[in-house]
């Protein structure tokens, strides 16, 4: 329902104006010492009429409308009201009526305004505050997000989405490692525009490592250990490390409500991963006893990279990195890293399990599909040239 605030404001303004006017016209009784006898007499007439009326509200009406016009007809001067007030001894009924009437209007509109204002808050709010920074308190704990990234047609779009999300989180340092020989200006521009502190370096996957971001995360862990104070900044004494891939979909609350509060090892549900709709820790009496996963559930930590974060102290107190393989993980690197950090299942702090139903997923293991680029059918014998980007930057 559209609400016309301007109209409402105008109405309220008019009512308040009238109310103030009514107050102004309300004058206190003055001394009757110099009252003109003739006028005094006429006023007495009114008074008699007024008091003779049995019903007070009727007399109010009479005095307010009928009697005054009678008085004016009788040749009373403009200040009849003033003299009558002297006779009767309190502000004229007409003024009182106006005061009551417009005062009631004012109160009524003020009440309506307050009610409408209160209940229309959701409607008036533009969409973005839903995603505004929900943390108001200053925190001394920095979130360190590690993101491996590499050139592909959809990368700028993926990084942009992630940047838009992270820019809503404060006290966050974003470490982005380019799987390549050099950093890419378009990526750097995105990082600049987040307004976040960040580190962007290029480390091409070394020989023997799978090309899946493992080497880049290793380089990031080394960077964190060698440049801890620069990454934390002056205002932060603590940190939490999270491996956030560039193609996932993140709820801001993942950072503000979960990651920020990780004291050792935080674990939560991940959507659309591991060949199923959701992978989640199985929690009994606040402790993780197993993992609700389809793929390789026997792992000590059967969790996707997106589903955990570790306190910076855990990282600093170990030299664990991503190796070139992880047999215990059946090929997935997560459990190897966490085990190498000296962590046990008892160390897990589960997040987001408290409700028994309508539980929310704060991170989704999405993947942007590579678009099917339609190529010209002519000259098929020659190598296909890259599609025209008309001067726009696309990593083709």
Does 299 interact with ligand UGA (rule: CB under 6 A)? Answer: no
Whether the CA torsion 125, 130, 135, 141 is positive or negative: it is: negative
Least gap, CB of 285 to ligand UGA (angstroms): 29
Q: How far apart are CA 170 and CA 150, in angstroms?
A: 26
365 binds ligand UGA (CB under 6 A): yes
Q: How many whole angstroms separate alpha carbon 64 and alpha carbon 49?
A: 12
- Shorter beta-carbon distance to ligand UGA: residue 43 or 241: 241
Residue 203 makes contact with ligand UGA by CB under 6 A: no
Binding residues for Mn(2+): 247
Reduced 3-state DSSP string for 288-356: EEEEECCCCCCCCCCCCHHHEEEEHHHHHCCCCCCCCCCCCCCCCCHHHHHHHCCCCHHHEEECCCCCC
DSSP single-letter state for residue 61 = H
Burial class (CB in 10 A: 0-12, 13-18, 19+), 345: middle
What is the C-alpha separation between 314 and 242, in angstroms, rounded?
12
Q: Which residues are catalytic?
A: 334
Record the tokens describing residue 134, joined without a space. Answer: 């929900």
Binding mask 306-335 for ligand UGA (x = CB under 6 A): x--------------------------x--
Residue 125 CB, shortest distance to Mn ion, in Å, is 33
For residue 211, the minimal CB distance to Mn ion (Å) is: 13
Q: If binding is defined by CB under 6 A, does position 149 make contact with ligand UGA?
A: yes
Residue by residue, DSSP assigns 2-59 as: ---HHHHHHHHHHHHHHHHHHHHH-------TT--HHHHHHHHHHHHHHHH-SSHHHH
| Token pair for 85 | 């007030």
Q: Is 304 in the site for ligand UGA (CB under 6 A)?
A: yes
Q: Decide whether 245 or 349 has the Cβ nearer to Mn ion.
A: 245
Contact partner at residue 165 from ligand UGA, Mn ion, none, CB < 5 to 8 Å by partner kind: none
Q: The sheet that has 308-311: what strands, in order across it?
A: 198-202, 172-178, 141-149, 238-243, 308-311, 265-267, 348-350
Binding site partner of 171, from ligand UGA, Mn ion, none, Cβ cut-off 5-8 A by kind = none
Which position's Cβ is nearest ligand UGA?
213
**Closer of 199 and 216 to ligand UGA (Cβ):** 216
279 near ligand UGA, rule: CB under 6 A: no
Among 22, 174, 213, 268, binds ligand UGA (CB under 6 A): 213
Interface residue with Mn ion among 158, 245, 304, 349 (CB under 5 A) is 245
Q: How many helices (H) and strands (E) does the chain have?
A: 14, 12
Of 298, 336, 301, nearest to 320 (Cα)?
336
Does 337 participate in binding ligand UGA (rule CB under 6 A)? no
Q: What is the DSSP letter of 259?
A: G
Q: Which of Mn ion, ligand UGA, none does 246 bind, CB closer than 5 to 8 A by kind?
A: ligand UGA
- The reply to whether 247 sits near Mn ion by the rule CB under 5 A is yes
- The yes or no reply on residue 150 touching ligand UGA (CB under 6 A) is yes
User: Rule CB under 6 A: is residue 94 a binding residue for ligand UGA?
Assistant: no
Q: Considering the complex, state which of residue 46 and residue 365 has its C-beta at the smaller distance from ligand UGA.
A: 365
Residues in touch with Mn ion (CB under 5 A):
245, 247
Binding residues (CB under 6 A) for ligand UGA: these are 147-150, 179, 211-213, 216, 245-247, 304-306, 333, 365, 367
């Amino acid at each position: 329902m559209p609400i016309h605030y301007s109209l409402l404001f105008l109405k309220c303004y008019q009512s308040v104006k009238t109310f103030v006017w009514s107050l102004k016209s309300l004058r206190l009784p003055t001394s009757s010492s110099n009252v003109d006898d003739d006028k005094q007499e006429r006023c007495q007439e009114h008074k008699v009429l007024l008091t003779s009326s049995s019903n007070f509200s009727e007399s109010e009406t009479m005095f307010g409308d009928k009697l005054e016009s009678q008085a004016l007809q009788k040749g009373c001067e403009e200040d009849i009201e003033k003299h009558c007030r002297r006779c009767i001894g309190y502000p004229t009924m007409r003024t009182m009526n106006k005061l009551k009437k417009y005062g009631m209007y004012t109160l009524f509109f003020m009440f309506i305004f307050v009610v409408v204002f209160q209940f229309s808050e959701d409607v008036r709010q533009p969409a973005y505050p839903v995603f505004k920074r929900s943390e108001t308190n200053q925190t001394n704990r920095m979130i360190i997000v590690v993101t491996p990234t590499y050139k592909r047609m959809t990368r700028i779009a993926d990084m942009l989405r992630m940047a838009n999300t992270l820019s809503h989180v404060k006290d966050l340092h974003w470490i982005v490692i380019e799987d390549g020989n050099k950093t890419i200006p378009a990526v750097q521009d995105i990082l600049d525009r987040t307004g976040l502190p960040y580190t962007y370096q290029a480390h091409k996957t070394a020989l023997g490592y799978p090309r899946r971001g493992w080497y880049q995360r290793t380089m990031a862990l080394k960077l964190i250990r060698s440049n801890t104070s620069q990454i934390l900044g002056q205002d932060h004494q603590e940190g939490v490390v999270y491996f956030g891939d560039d193609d996932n979909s993140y709820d801001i609350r993942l950072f503000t409500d979960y990651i920020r509060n990780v004291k050792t090892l935080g674990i939560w549900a991940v959507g659309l991963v591991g060949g199923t709709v959701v992978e989640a820790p199985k929690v009994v009496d606040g402790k993780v006893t197993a993992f609700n996963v389809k793929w390789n559930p026997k792992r000590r930590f059967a969790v996707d990279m997106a589903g955990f974060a570790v306190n910076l102290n855990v990282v600093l107190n170990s030299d664990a990195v991503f190796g070139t393989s992880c047999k215990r993980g059946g090929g997935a690197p997560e459990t190897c890293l966490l085990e190498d950090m000296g962590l046990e299942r008892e160390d897990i702090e589960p997040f987001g399990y408290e409700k028994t139903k309508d539980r929310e997923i704060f991170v989704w293991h999405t993947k942007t599909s590579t678009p099917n680029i339609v190529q010209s059918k002519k000259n098929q014998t020659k190598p296909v040239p890259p599609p025209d980007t008309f001067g726009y930057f696309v990593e083709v």
